[in-house]
Amino acid sequence: VSQPLFMPFTSVPFYGINATWNFTLINQQIKWFAAQNYCRHSYTDLATVRKKEDNDLIHKMFNTSWAWIGLFRDTWEWSDLSNSSFRNWKMGQNDSVGTACALAQVTWPGTWDMTPCDEKHPFICYDDNLILVNRSMTWNEALNYCRTHHSDLASVHNEEIQYWVSRRAEKASTDHVWLGLRFSCYLNFWFWVSAENVCYQNWAPNNISNSNLCGTTGAVQSKDPHYWVSLPETKELNFICTKCPSKADPRTQYLQNCHKCV
């Protein structure tokens, strides 16, 4: 009997508190491209290490020696095509030629090595909690859809979440994508439907004044520079939902309700 391509492997999850992503170590030794396929099927992609803090998390959370990450030799780009320039190569390991893929040394000192992609190693996937819905709905319809099928419309509280929201928005079929942002006519300010204040902001220049905003809601541009704009709530757009962590997610103990996933 042939073995299914995406059989459930033994995994060790790690969650970033208040982040939109989590890393999971898959304790199965397979080739890099097989690992990429598995991560894309079961998670989001092979792990992208965007900054030193991400690398430190990977270094601290797993006890295996080496694991595939999502960096491969093709001018060294990330599997999910993100533009992160962070690198942590062992000395002399970043100028090799030919086909190679990146291994993260999970044990000290946490550096990266390159090795032929057809070697077999454990691997690290990442997943995020943002879901682009490629259906056009009014803002209220989108809100109801997210709360029925997932958790809520997405809230953006920092640059990290804005980055991932932008990545999702780029795949939309509309010029703008609904967020969980609404203007209160009575209180005269913007708020997130997750009941959190709007602290971080990324409004398009000259877009926002607190006049004539009744009946408007917030959306993000699907193209660069991915600014936020105010639009009539009756406009039909794609939208981004958040999904709640599972009961096994350590973040759950920090959450008062399902609408505070992000």
Domains annotated for the chain, with CATH where assigned, are: 11-127 (3.10.100.10), 129-260 (3.10.100.10)
The pTM of this model reads 0.62
| Cβ neighbours, 10 Å, residue 144 | 13
Which residue carries 């520079």 as its tokens? 225
β-pairing verdict for 152-153 and 176-184: unpaired
What six digits make up the tokens of 132?
């682009």
Q: What is the pLDDT of residues 228-245, one digit of tens each?
A: 999 999 999 999 999 765
What six digits make up the tokens of 203?
């409004």
Label residue 246 by pLDDT band (50, 70, 90): very low
Amino acid letter, 10 = T
Q: What is the pLDDT of residues 158-204, one digit of tens each?
A: 887 898 899 899 999 999 999 999 998 888 889 999 877 788 999 99
Q: Which range, of 15-19, 61-65, 166-170, averages the lowest pLDDT?
A: 15-19
**Beta pairing partners, 7:** none
Strand, coil or helix: 251: helix
